Amino acid sequence: MDRHVSDMKPESWLVAAGREPAPGAPLNVPLVPASNFIIGSGREYARDDGTPTWEALETIIGGLEHGHAVAFASGMAAIAAVFDQLHAGAVVALPTDCYQGVAGLAAAGAQRGRWSVQLLAVDDTAGWIDACARADLIWLESPSNPLLTVADLAAICAAPRKPGALVAVDNTFATPLNQQPLALGADISLQSATKFIGGHSDLLAGVATTSDPRLWAALKTSRELTGATPGTLEAFLAARGARTLAVRLQRAQATAQLLAERLAAHPRVLLVRYPGLPSHPTYATAQRVLKGFGTIISFDVRGGAAAADQVCQAVRLIHHATSLGAVESTIERRAAIPGQQHLPPSLLRLSVGIEDADDLWADLSSALAAIEATP
């Protein structure tokens, strides 16, 4: 690349970055299925030195977030690498509403005495600012999963910190196009590339990005020592998927706004959680810190868990499946997932894809009507 990311809009960087500009080179960095390399170039062993395929993905995401990225085998592998930076007896500040994998990892470490955990509501800005002075890791997730609460990242990241404390933000739901944690002052921004970056439900990968060279080196060392390296095919697919992130996100979140508004007016829906609705508790914060409101909607249906399960079974265009951020729309009842029993039993998490908005609404309204027809 002859131009720096600062010279381009993010939409252009996604398409242009991570390519080899030499004459005769392939337009896309190819799959390099190699574990070792001829000695002399500085690259000898893939686990230690990476591969051109991984580096293409890291270039795309690192530039997009104005930092240096490290690709991992999964989002959880990237998360574990961040927790791996903690010293014995560290204090971790964690949201009460967060991804169950993070909650499980934090609980397991606490049980072994590796660290202690302090839980805070995502929108408790004063509590987070106070925690910054005492905790060794401030772990933020915004919007949160699955209640979609938006944290005031700018205020929290700007708060005075305990010496050596890290602020890490799981930016998966927002993506780097809607939120820039490093620019707000966070030390690490996390992406589950399985979701929006890959965008096609066909890979597992994670990326951690930082603007601190020492922290970047530490994350790479953690990847090396734990063997949490991305697969060649997965890295290739994630880089290819990232090329269309901007257009996928733009379409899907426009549809999500429309569906959220229609769901909020439906008689069989008790509550809709979407940051783009004025009724959302953190709507004002979302307007201030997010460039877009995302593609995830959580809503509660009347009739409890049984009614929510009926909706999942009745949809036809939307898929009853877990995960999110892909071209196809998916729906699931989150309280049915182990470790998520604290959530409202009738809460459905809808990940809006790129299908036609009216077709999606027809599918949803038909599924809700099926509940109405049930005795």
Q: Where are the alpha helices (DSSP H) in the chain?
A: 10-16, 46-49, 52-64, 75-83, 100-111, 125-132, 153-157, 175-178, 181-184, 213-226, 232-242, 245-264, 283-289, 304-314, 357-372
Could you confirm whether 274 is annotated as catalytic?
no
CA dihedral sign of residues 305, 308, 314, 316: negative
Which listed residue (99, 274, 349, 363) is catalytic? 99
Q: What is the CA radius of gyration of the chain?
A: 21
Distances (CA, A) of 88 to 136, 139, 140, 219: 11, 17, 21, 18
List 19, 47, 240, 302, catalytic entry: 47
Number of H helices, E strands in the chain: 15, 12
* Of 136, 114, 116, 132, nearest in space to 124 by CA: 132
* 99 in catalytic set: yes
List, in sequence order, every residue forming a beta bridge with 188; answer none if it has no partner.
Answer: 168
Catalytic entry in 97, 123, 170, 300: 170
Residue 170 is a catalytic residue: yes
Q: Are 337 and 100 in contact (CB under 8 A)?
A: yes
CA distances from 163 to 67, 125, 137, 160, 291 (A): 22, 20, 11, 9, 31
Question: Of residues 195, 268, 333, 334, which has the active-site annotation?
Answer: 195
By annotation, the residues acting in catalysis are 47, 99, 170, 195
